[in-house]
Amino acid sequence: MKRRDIYLTGLLLILVGVSIGTIFALYTINPDLAPLSDVKITEVKKSEAPLFTEEDLAKIDTRFVFKKIAEEVTPTVVYIETIIPVDAPDDENHDFNESIWDRIVPRRARTVGSGVVITNNGYILTNYHVIEGAVRNGLKVVLNDKREYDAKLVGQDPSTDLAVIKIDAQNLQAVTVGNSDSVDVGEWVLAIGNPFRLRSTVTAGIVSALSRDVQIINDRMRIESFIQTDAAINKGNSGGALVNTSGQLVGVNTAIASQSGAYQGYGFAVPSNLALKVATDLIQYGEVKRALLGVTIGAVDFNRATEIGLAEVRGVEILSVSRDGAADLSGIRSGDVVLEVNGQAVNESNELQEKVAVLRPGDLVDLRIWRNGQEFNQSVLLKMLEPAPEEELAFEDQSIIPDEIPEGDNTGVDVHEFDLGFRVMALVKPENEETYDLIVSHVYKYSEAWNRGLRENQKILTIDEEKVEDIDSLKELISRKLTNKKSVMLEVLNEENARGYIELERN
């Protein structure tokens, strides 16, 4: 056989083999050609039962209880919308094409925050800065189930940045309040609120520190002893709940610490013991009954501890004692060091402030004192913190000296303060000494007049379309209108000679 025939024969045999193999393979994988295999089981095993129950997981790691906590607490956290007045800008970017009403009556803006239902009949605890400046009927609450209610302000306490509002609802799910004194650093907590208008957001973290004083409350009598946490707290979380792994409220979310205004690792909450005391006072009395020890204080540092013979750096030193104050009457002296308040150690000034702030006037507080190398207990009967003169209600009808008095002997100047929250100065008109320009010389912030848009330097022209030309007629008309119909309409002229109307009501 020739060599060429041998090659062709071999190639033919290879092609035949490949063809046979291909046909066999197709036959075996084609269900229509190949015989079916016998099987003993034809069902897939399925189950919705978890490998571990939630109780088992909770025993393994407390983080596994977060789901249950969120389910229990989220319905108690509400979304709060606050309408506040906003002044129009007064700079080169001002839009002078706006309407006359925009110039006379400030625009209004909507801010958002959170709150915690503390009673099943509608009392809600939140931050003062969440509701600060709200106009009349400017508070709205949205529950977790999306029901909406108008809310009324019950009371506020700027010194702790807390407030209580009320909605007309019954059988609400209320939060369980825990003991913030039992909170420990490193303990797991959840922050629940409405950051960035995102409803019912839950974040988790640990307690990073206790008794933090970060100086964010702008009040002379401020009390700051915050719980610090790394649970994410952002804008809108203010007033929300900080809860422990038992689902108990241990703090009211108040602030974030960052340069950008957004979460960067640290958040702060008012301890629940202080928050509950403030809330209870506001509900019962409409104001906070603050106890007064009658001392000025400072933390003890290493040098001072060594100087007075303390074995370790601890306690809060009494720097001075107010004459006839609670501490003075109980024998407390300047130079004493308070080591404990009612059995709880205090090592920072704000810790001592907080421990006293949760008590009421008339309560006995037990202080552990270090004096001249010895420790002893001393009971002090707390007094009432009386408001300073500048803290008294600004709306009381009283004789007020105007902020600015024209030069001269003050002839032709008359001033009167109205209990709706504004002061009027009457200036005699040069062209007619029998008539006056009635100028608003001061408006108290967040008063009825302020909330309705009355501002300084506006001129009052008429009251309910009746012309007024002196203080006496102004007083008589406002009093009569408020008595008859509980409201009064002021026609005003601003510095740009834009005319508008502002209605004021008496609660």
Cα–Cα distance between 119 and 280 in angstroms, integer? 11
Query: Taking Cα atoms as reference points, which of 160, 236, 225 lies closest to residue 192?
Result: 236
Please identify which of the residues 157, 161, 328, 336 carries the catalytic annotation.
161
What's 506's DSSP letter?
-
Query: Taking Cα atoms as reference points, which of 392, 419, 397 lies closest to residue 506?
Result: 419
Helical residues (DSSP H) of 66-209, grouped into ranges: 66-73, 100-104, 128-131
Cα–Cα distance between 272 and 178 in angstroms, integer? 7
At position 499, the amino acid (one-letter code) is R
Cα–Cα distance between 318 and 370 in angstroms, integer? 10
Those residues with Cβ within 8 angstroms of residue 123's Cβ, 6 or more apart along the chain or in another chain: 117, 154, 164, 165, 166, 279, 283
Those residues with Cβ within 8 angstroms of residue 473's Cβ, 6 or more apart along the chain or in another chain: none
Cα–Cα distance between 351 and 355 in angstroms, integer? 6
Q: Active-site residue 238, yes or no?
A: yes
Residues 269-288 as b/e (b if ≥16 CB within 10 A, e otherwise) read bbbbbbbbbbbbbbbeeeeb
Please identify which of the residues 211, 225, 238, 272 carries the catalytic annotation.
238
Q: Active-site residue 324, yes or no?
A: no
End-to-end CA distance of the chain: 124
Beta bridge partners of 109: 84
Please identify which of the residues 129, 336, 442, 447 carries the catalytic annotation.
129
Cα–Cα distance between 429 and 432 in angstroms, integer? 5
How many other C-beta atoms lie within 10 A of the C-beta of residue 398? 10
Query: Taking Cα atoms as reference points, which of 420, 434, 417, 423 lies closest to residue 470?
Result: 434
Residues annotated as part of the active site: 129, 161, 238
